[in-house]
Amino acid sequence: MDNDLLSGKVVLITGASSGIGAAAARVFAREGATVVLTARREERLAALTAELRDKGVRAGYVVGDVSVAADAARAVDFAVAEYGRLDAAFNNAGIGGDRTPLHLMTDDVYDTVMDTNVRGVFNCLRYEIAAMLDHGRGSVVNNSSVGGLVAIPTAAPYIASKHAVIGFTRAAADEYAKQGIRVNAVAPGTTRSEITADWFGRNPGLEDLANSLTPQGRTAAPEEIAEAAAWLLSDRCPFLTGTVLPVDGGFVNQ
Ligand code: NDP
């Protein structure tokens, strides 16, 4: 393997403190990227940045909340100020929210899920695209979910939020196609991370159910999602924009 998929590119990763985002930081760095990490937990970001720098990777981090527009702007500004431009972004930050039947769902769950998963992507896209327009090209991957394509029980705000992420992906891809900016999404199936550890911990039987509903009969490692995002962000697929790539062991294909 050449390990040059993202060689020379400056890539912003949101939600880089754990799970798929942390895996993406390692995979993108291995593929030659300079990585800018953002999330709310500074200790995690500092440790991962140090790990990458020890391997000779150019890496920096910005503590921030994607649901706050000024924080999203700061992350993009940091990438441009520190490394000269923003070539690519993986808008991965997201939360699952409590699993509850829709008629019992609270305003709080709705607000936090929508603010993080939808407003967060909206905030990041605005500032990332502005920076990419300055540079004349760019590539963005938003992290949706199989829940952005089909329903999953007891997670209505999450399902709605991930459908909205696909809506933003399509809208942005269409608007900026002629300006050299590609926007795609990944739709992961069940992936081992803090979100699923929380869901499985509080809902006995859910992990077995997820496995049984997946043709490959298993969950994904976070790196499996990161590898797909790396390819979508790279220059190896220049005619690909506005698409949603399920990375799901065959789940939505059934
Ligand atoms: P994790 O909980 O491990 O990671 C979520 C990441 O998002 C953390 O780094 C967290 O960091 C960050 N985050 C959460 N809220 C905010 C916020 N307001 N501002 C900035 N960062 C935030 O779970 P995953 O790795 O699984 O989740 C990553 C993405 O993958 C999510 O969008 C999720 O919906 C999606 N996904 C996951 C699936 C799975 O089965 N795991 C399946 C389909 C999609 P911090 O707390 O430090 O801010």
Q: 178 C-alpha vs ligand 1 centroid, how far in Å?
A: 31
- Neighbour count for residue 196 (Cβ, 10 Å): 18
The verdict on pTM exceeding 0.85 is: yes
Q: Does domain 10-246 have CATH number 1.20.58.220?
A: no
Q: Residue 3 burial (CB < 10 Å; 0-12/13-18/19+)?
A: exposed
Q: Where are the domains of the chain?
A: 10-246
Q: 38 C-alpha vs ligand 1 centroid, how far in Å?
A: 11
Instruction: Split the chain (254 residues) into runs of 10 and give each run's mean pLDDT.
Output: 90 98 98 98 98 98 98 98 98 95 97 98 98 96 98 95 99 98 98 91 90 96 98 98 98 96
Cα 254 to chain center, whole Å?
A: 24
To the query of whether residue 127 is one of the catalytic residues in this protein, the response is no
Q: Which of 61, 83, 127, 158 is catalytic?
A: 158
Q: 166 C-alpha vs ligand 1 centroid, how far in Å?
A: 16
Pocket of ligand 1, candidates 66, 143, 193: which has the most ligand atoms within 8 Å of its Cβ, to mutate?
193
